[in-house]
Structure 1
Amino acid sequence: MRNLRHYCTTLLLFILLSCGEKTDKKSEETSTEEVKTETKSKKSEEDVILFFGNSLTAGMGLEPSEAFPALIQNRLDSLGYDYEVVNAGLSGETTASGKNRIDWVLNQEVDVFVLELGANDGLRGIPIEETRRNLQDIIDIVKKKNPETKIVLAGMQIPPNMGQDYTSEFRNIFPELAQKNNVALIPFLLEGVAGDPELNQQDGIHPTAQGYKIVRENVWNVLEGMLKEKR
């Protein structure tokens, strides 16, 4: 508990400090377009898993190949699943800014949508109902775009800086929304990683490559059953 409190306090300080942050040519072009079309066609044969979140999803401080979405892609490939993982994480993202860019992200067809947002809201003391409403709106938009898209909601926790009531209400947003919308839930994305200096970078916030391997398992524990059912 003390480790988690230390992690969360460090996270709050970091967020507050960083938030301010012609014939022959035509023939050649036609040939290029054909290659692009063929590549796009091959990609479209794979189902898409899209991770939509903040710096935790983006893998801030690490190579993209070390972030947990890339690790999920490796797991899928090794098990013979035909899925393409898309990392749509953006550092500093809140539920409001996520809601503003969701339509653009959904320009592609998505089969599984993993929603990892809300932590920045809680750390900034944004009213609980506003965060809840934004998350609900994002879920509604995804469902409206394609009712067949499977949705996974990643739970998050924050420090008690805003008071115990706020902290508890924030934590409850995620299981309540998951139950209300009948979507899968990752209880706490950073379970087993938060607060452990050996598993976090020097900022004490973002997981190391080793920490992300644990995050991958937290995600996979929920995602695996969903993919098996779909298969």
Structure 2
Amino acid sequence: MNLIMKLRNQPSLIRAYTFLLISLLLGSLWGCDSGENQAETSQRRKGANAENSNTQKPAEQPTTEKIILFYGNSLTAGYGIEPSQAFPALIGAKLDSAGYQYKVVNAGLSGETTAGGRSRIGWVLRQPVSIFVLELGGNDGLRGIPLTATKQNLQAIIDTVKAKSPEAKIVIAGMQIPPNMGPEYTSRFRELYKELARENNLALIPFLLEGVGGIRRLNLPDGIHPTPEGHKVVAKNVWQVLEPLLEEEAEG
């Protein structure tokens, strides 16, 4: 209170204190501006250094790696087991041991139908593949989806692969379903894969789960998905069809 009374009686002191406050305020503002300018300058320098660094790096070369892409549902994805135990990974190990220089890509998705596969195929094929293994349709059959729709979807996937990777060899994995939908549906479902293979000149795995389907010890408790031991049998079924294609490519 005494200070305020003194200031009221001495205008010169008021002016001095006001000047001091204004000076401090301006100083703090300039300090902020200076800091911001320094930060901007630092960022510009970093950007320039990064640009110079990038220009000094050699241009990236397009990949020439050969790819085998497995495109399917939970059977391909390895539902209920480790990814390294699923048949695509086992095929990758066989390729390595046999001296084939291929990269295996597992594009399996649990629960996938042919309609779902059709909708995502363009996104999956972002780069060319050498061999495309198509394993879809089992979920369609279990749901009783009309076979005309299933075949149309599979054909659309095949057409997309041919368009995006004209040199790719396509393998289609045959599938069978329990007789729940009736004998006619079950029989026509099984023949659908043979028709697609014949009409498109594809390599056919007659039945992906040959030697596995219906064998309790080779399947998980659901009775549908193979155990790690079951996947070893599936890998053999796939390899029997895949190996001749690999030999053809090696000779070509």
Is the TM value for this pair above 0.5?
Answer: yes
Note the 1:176-191 alignment, pairs <5 A.
176-191=195-210
Q: Secondary structure at the match of 1:153?
A: strand
TM-score (norm 1): 0.83
- Aligned equivalent of 1:81: 100
- Aligned equivalent of 2:70: 51
CA shift for structure 1 position 26: 7.5
- Deviations for 1:45-72, whole angstroms, at most 9, x for unmatched residues? 3200000000000001111100000000
Q: Distance in 2 between matches of 1:213 and 1:28?
A: 49
- Deviations for 1:176-227, whole angstroms, at most 9, x for unmatched residues? 1000000100000000001111111122211111110000000000000000
Q: Distance in 1 between matches of 2:233 and 2:205?
A: 13
Name the Cα RMSD after superposition: 1.9
- Aligned equivalent of 2:127: 108
Q: 1:28 to 1:142 in 2, by over 3 A?
A: same
CA shift for structure 1 position 145: 1.1
Within the alignment, does 1:166 sit opposite 2:180 as a pair? no
The letter of the residue matching 1:219 is V
Q: Secondary structure at the match of 2:191?
A: helix
Q: 1:70 to 1:26 in 2, by over 3 A?
A: farther
The total of aligned residue pairs comes to 204
Q: Secondary structure at the match of 1:90?
A: coil
Q: Distance in 1 between matches of 2:242 and 2:50?
A: 43
- Aligned equivalent of 1:202: 221
Within the alignment, does 1:132 sit opposite 2:151 as a pair? yes
Instruction: Return the match for 2:238 from 216, 219, 223.
Output: 219
Aligned residues with identical type, % of pairs: 63
- Aligned equivalent of 1:4: none
Q: 1:211 to 1:25 in 2, by over 3 A?
A: farther
CA shift for structure 1 position 170: 0.4
4+ residue segments displaced more than 6 Å: none
Q: Distance in 2 between matches of 1:27 and 1:118?
A: 54
Q: Distance in 2 between matches of 1:57 and 1:132?
A: 19
Q: 1:45 to 1:162 in 2, by over 3 A?
A: same
Q: Secondary structure at the match of 2:127?
A: coil
Within the alignment, does 1:94 sit opposite 2:113 as a pair? yes
CA shift for structure 1 position 146: 1.9
| Higher relative contact order (Cα pairs below 8 Å, separated by 6+ residues) | 1
Q: Secondary structure at the match of 1:113?
A: strand
- Aligned equivalent of 1:15: none
Q: Distance in 2 between matches of 1:212 and 1:27?
A: 52
Q: Secondary structure at the match of 1:49?
A: strand
Q: Distance in 2 between matches of 1:157 and 1:54?
A: 14
CA shift for structure 1 position 144: 1.0
TM-score (norm 2): 0.76
Query: What residue ranges of structure 1 are gaps of 5+ in the alignment?
Result: 1-21
Query: What residue ranges of structure 2 are gaps of 5+ in the alignment?
Result: 1-42
Q: 1:28 to 1:205 in 2, by over 3 A?
A: farther
- Bigger CA radius of gyration: 2
Q: Secondary structure at the match of 2:107?
A: strand
Note the 1:3-18 alignment, pairs <5 A.
none
The letter of the residue matching 1:155 is G
